[in-house]
Amino acid sequence: MPSVFGINNLKFTIKNDIMIENECDYINVIKREIDDRLVGKSSGKRAILVFFESNRKLKEFYDSTALGSLKELTVYLTEEASLDEKEILIKRATTSDQITLFTRTFGRGTDFKCDDQIIATNGGTHVIQTFLSEEVQIKGRTARQGDHRSYSMILLDRDLEKFHTEKVDIEDVKKEGFYISRTVCLMDATGSMYYLLHKCKNTVDIMFERASEILKEQNIKSDSFQLQFVVYRNYNSREDKILQSSPWETKPDNLRAFMNTIEVEGGWNNEAIEIGLWHANEENERENITQVILIVAEQTGGRCEMLDINSSSGSQMLTDLITEEILRNVGGSTKGNALVEAYRKIFHKDYT
Domain contains 71: yes
Domain contains 253: yes
Q: Say how far apart CA 116 and CA 107 lie, in whole Å.
A: 21
Q: Which residues, listed in sequence order, are joined to residue 185 by a DSSP beta bridge?
A: 229, 293
Q: Are 124 and 116 in contact (CB under 8 A)?
A: no
Q: Are 230 and 294 in contact (CB under 8 A)?
A: no
Q: What is the pTM of this model?
A: 0.50
C-alpha distances out from residue 284 to 141, 287, 290, Å: 22, 5, 8
Whether residues 110 and 208 share a domain: the answer is no
**Among candidate residues 120, 148, 176, the one where a domain is terminated:** 176
Number of separate domains in the chain: 2
Whether residues 163 and 39 share a domain: the answer is yes
Whether residues 133 and 195 share a domain: the answer is no
Domain contains 352: no
- pLDDT at position 138: 53
Q: Say how far apart CA 161 and CA 245 lie, in whole Å.
A: 46
Whether residues 145 and 207 share a domain: the answer is no
- pLDDT at position 115: 79
Whether residues 160 and 199 share a domain: the answer is no
Whether residues 166 and 241 share a domain: the answer is no
pLDDT tens figures, 306-323: 555 455 566 788 788 889
Domain of 52, CATH number, reads 3.40.50.300
Domain housing 218: 181-347
- 281 three-class SS: helix
- pLDDT at position 74: 96
Domain contains 326: yes
Q: Which residues, listed in sequence order, are joined to residue 312 by a DSSP beta bridge?
A: none
Domain contains 236: yes
Whether residues 126 and 46 share a domain: the answer is yes
> Which ranges constitute the DSSP H helices of the chain?
14-17, 23-38, 55-62, 83-92, 117-120, 137-140, 167-176, 194-217, 239-242, 252-260, 273-286, 314-347
Rg of the chain in Å (alpha carbons): 24
Domain contains 2: no
pLDDT tens figures, 249-262: 888 888 888 888 88
- pLDDT at position 276: 92
Report residues of the chain scoring pLDDT below 70.
Answer: 1-16, 40-43, 134-148, 161-180, 267, 296-314, 349-352
Whether residues 195 and 277 share a domain: the answer is yes
Domain of 227, CATH number, reads 3.40.50
- 284 three-class SS: helix
**Among candidate residues 122, 156, 176, the one where a domain is terminated:** 176
- pLDDT at position 349: 64
- pLDDT at position 170: 58
Domain contains 1: no
Domain contains 238: yes
Q: Say how far apart CA 133 and CA 120 lie, in whole Å.
A: 28
C-alpha distances out from residue 210 to 307, 337, 339, 343, Å: 20, 16, 11, 8
Whether residues 303 and 192 share a domain: the answer is yes
Whether residues 168 and 191 share a domain: the answer is no
Q: Give me the sign of the Cα torsion angle 305, 309, 311, 315.
A: positive
Within 8 A by CB and 6+ apart from 213, the residues are: 346
C-alpha distances out from residue 63 to 4, 73, 270, Å: 29, 14, 60
Complete DSSP assignment for 87-135:
HHHHHHTTSTTEEEEEEGGGGSS-------HHHHTTT-EEEEE-S--S-
Instruction: Measure the CA dihedral 169/174/180/182, to 10°.
Output: -170
Whether residues 111 and 149 share a domain: the answer is yes
**Among candidate residues 146, 176, 206, the one where a domain is terminated:** 176
Whether residues 38 and 72 share a domain: the answer is yes
